Amino acid sequence: MTKQVYEGMTLVELKDIAKKLEIKNISKYKKNELIDEILKKSPNTVEKEGVILREKISSKVRNDNNSVSNTTNNKANFNNNTVNNTGFNNNNSSFNNNNSSFNNNSSNNNNSFNNGNRSFNNSSNVSNIVNNNNSDNKVDSKNNEENPALKQEKLNNMINESNSAKGILEILENNNFGFLRCKNYLTSSEDIYVSPSQIRRFNLRTGDEVQGKIREAKEGEKFKALLFVEKVNGEHPERAIGRKYFETLTPIYPKERLRLETSDEKDLSSRLMDIICPIGKGQRGIIVAPPKAGKTTLLKKVAQNISTNYPDIKLIVLLIDERPEEVTDMKRSINGEVIYSTFDEEPQNHAKVSRIVLERAKRMVEQGKDVVILMDSITRLSRAYNLTITPTGRTLSGGLDPGALIMPKKFFGAARNIEEGGSLTILATALVDTGSRMDDMIFEEFKGTGNMEVHLDRKLQERRIFPAIDIYKSGTRKEDLIFSKEEKDVAYTIRKVMYRDGNIEDVTENLIGMLSKTSDNKEFINVFKKVEFEKRRQNNK
């Protein structure tokens, strides 16, 4: 539009046009100033018989136009000189008199002829340029048509030539993308970038084990990138799309037994746990222990026996705030996955590792698998959250923030037996009698949340009675669902004797002595029945 057209508009209409042209700070301009800004921003316009033609002129087109304009000017000169030449022929009568004019005209004629040649050459160059441009456009259109096929072929070649890798997915909360953690579930230089489109395509979640083809990091990139998803949790990626969420599955009491007894006759701790406090699939158990009572040794035995008796069960040992040498010992002792965050690392690492381990276990349970997590310890995990969370403004005894227990309770509370199939069993240790009021408060908060407890007694340990399991305090809720009838009768009888005599240390010592004299629990049950039968007969006499 011309300036006169814009002057006939109102200021409101001009502001609307300025907004469309993305002119900033519209309100500070007066009407004439705003018109000038619009004319600066608006594209080049040409008026022709009432029709306004707009076009964006690039530099290349301007050069072509300049060459065309030069050609037309040269043609015009050629025509003018040609007219002069005809005039010379018409004035043949004055040939003799105007000799000088003849020379001038002939020179003009030659000049015009030369100019004409130049213009002809220029016009031929323009036609060549146009032809070249047309041929380039045809090639570009062909390339555009072939581009999708070429791109797909290049992508297939890149996928075939690339290496395969797998890791545990962590989706960042503030973004849609994620990374495959390849080393101890923590951030490292070996992580692999996963794009948002891949996450949405296969309904990927934090904790999924993703395997696929990767490409190396390009210049300016820090991480490798996932090109092609081959498997999700060991299955075809399409199966991950319609799976249910862990929170929507139905939790029930454990009904299937996890036997810890093995062929090793000297392993009395596992045999005693099978009788006093049995473990079922989906159990939520807590091992309460003072320092140096043997909780780490007991946890190691449980891990070894579960991996031996149930190789199909996925076993994860989570060590939080532990000593590095214990991590090495645990790795070498068990056949399972050991995830750790030692005491020399930051509390944020403790919290992050535990969160990803829990999400990993949930993803496997959603597939219908049985998972066992052995955690040492939930007390130190709560201490880590006490340092990392935003303070709630309230403090419990010992300096414990109530908000610090939210995530540890989510972790411990995730243990359950699933009615639709699968189970998550968690055995976590809790520290008591450490001299810290905070540790006692943490144990009190978790005391009623589990459905199985194993108490280790320091007095038994001081008397060199191993395993130092306090029979009086240890037990399992709804144990009749996983006990056989004979095992249930023996367990009830042991507790009756213990309550009757009142001496826990002596009863435990006698029980361990009977276990050591038998090869397995089946033989122990038969011997125990005979002993009790003889005692009853003597009492009746």
Annotated binding-site positions for ATP? 280-285, 292-297, 323
Q: Which of 225, 221, 201 is nearest to 212 (CA)?
A: 225
**φ, ψ for residue 24, nearest 5 deg:** -90, 160
Angle at 484 between CA 480 and CA 488, to 5 degrees: 60
Burial class (CB in 10 A: 0-12, 13-18, 19+), 182: middle
Q: Which of 226, 224, 221 is nearest to 208 (CA)?
A: 226
Whether residue 290 contacts residue 433, with contact meaning beta carbons closer than 8 Å, is answered with yes
Mapped onto helix, strand or coil, the DSSP state of residue 211 is: strand
User: Beta-carbon neighbour count of residue 74 at 10 Å?
Assistant: 20
Q: Give the start-end residues of each E strand in 43-174.
A: 45-48, 51-54, 163-171
Residue at token pair 């590095």: 324
Q: Is it true that the peptide bond before 516 is cis, omega within 30 degrees of 0?
A: no
Residues at the binding site are 280-285, 292-297, 323
DSSP string, 489-525: HHHHHHHHHHHHH--HHHHHHHHHHHHHTSSSHHHHH
**φ, ψ for residue 50, nearest 5 deg:** 80, -5
Q: Which pair of structure tokens corresponds to residue 521?
A: 């629990």
**φ, ψ for residue 396, nearest 5 deg:** -85, 180
